[in-house]
Structure 1
Amino acid sequence: MVVPHHPAGARLARRRLAEELTDVVPPPLLADLVAVLAELVGNAVRHADPLPGGVVRVAWRLRAALGGQQVQLRVTDGGAAAGPTMRVADTDAADGRGLHIVSGLADRWGVERDGLGQSVWAEFDPAEITRSDLAVAG
C-alpha cells in the first residue's frame, strides 16, 4: 500500500495492517507488527525523503512456516543521506528509541538500498511467536 509521507501515514498503515491480519496471526504478534510498522513509517517520515508523489510504500508478506506464519514488514522511502542507525537516547529524550523497539520486537531487521531509495524491513519468525504466546498464556 502507499501512504502519505506524513505522520498520518503511520496511522493509515497501522489500521490497514490490523484489518488484514486480525484473523490471520495471534493477537500478541499483531500487536508487535502494528508497533513495528508504526516505528518504521514514523522513521521514514521523520528522517527520509518521500518517494515520488510524496508517499511511502508499505508492504507485508506472510509465509507459512513450521509453527505458524512468518511475517515480513517492509517500508520503502526515498532514502536519506545517512542510513537508519540505532541511537543512544537519554532517559529524558523524546525520541531516538524507534529502532531499539524494532530490534526488540522483530527477529531480524535490515536496510536495502537501490537507485530509487531505501527499504527498511523487519521479520518475525513463528517459533518466536509460539514461545511468546506460551509465555503470555502461562
Structure 2
Amino acid sequence: MDRYDVRNYPPRQDSVAAARRRAAWLAVAWGQPEMATDVALVTSELTTNAVLHGSVADRYVRVELRLTGALLRIEVTDPKGERRPEPRRAADDEQYGRGLQIVGALAQRWGASERVVGKTVWAELAGRGPR
C-alpha cells in the first residue's frame, strides 16, 4: 500500500523541527521504524536548506513524503528555482555546509527537479517494505 503526506511550512527555523518530527512519526506510523532516524535527519537537512537558501517571505516550503513498497521519498519544494543545491566541502571550523553530504550518505539517491516556480529537492531511502 502506498502512503503519502504533504505539509506546508512557513519559512522559519522552527518549521525545520516540525518537519523533522512529522517525518520520523510518519516513518514509524507507516511501519518503517528502522528508518525513522535517517528520515528525520534527511528531512531536517533538506528543509533547513529550503528555509536558509530557498525561501521567500510569505511563501511556504512544502514537505512531501511518499512510501511506495520499500522506498521512502522525501521532497522539499521552495520558491527559489535559481538556487540549485550543490554539495560543498566545509572547513573544519565551519558550522554549516555539510547537509548535502549527510543526505548523500543516508539516501540511496537524491537530486533536484525544476518547477515552473521554484525547485524540489528530493531524496530516496530504502526500507524493508510493507508490513
Same fold (TM over 0.5): yes
Match of 2:59 in 1: 54
Q: Pick which of 15-24 and 39-48 moved more.
A: 15-24
RMSD: 1.8
SS in 2 for 1:91: coil
- Alpha-carbon separation, structure 1, partners of 2:91 and 2:31: 35
Structure-1 separation of matches of 2:81 and 2:13: 17
What is the letter of the counterpart of residue 66 of structure 2? Answer: R
Which runs of no fewer than 5 residues in structure 1 stay unpaired?
A: 131-138
Q: State how 1:1-138 maps to structure 2 within 5 Å.
A: 1-50=7-56, 53-64=58-69, 69-126=70-127
Tell me, in whole angstroms, the C-alpha distance in 2 between the residues paired with 1:102 and 1:120. 11
1:55, CA displacement in angstroms?
A: 1.1
Higher share in helix: 1
- What is the TM-score of this pair, normalised by structure 2? 0.85
Count of residues paired in the alignment: 123
CA offsets 1:59-97 (integer angstroms, 9 cap, x no match) = 000011xxxx21000000012533110011011111100
Contact 2:27 2:33 in 1 (8 A): no
The letter of the residue matching 1:62 is L
CA distance in 2, matches of 1:101, 1:18: 17
Identity across the alignment (%):
35
TM-score (normalizing by structure 1): 0.81
Stretches (4+) displaced over 2 A = 18-21, 23-28
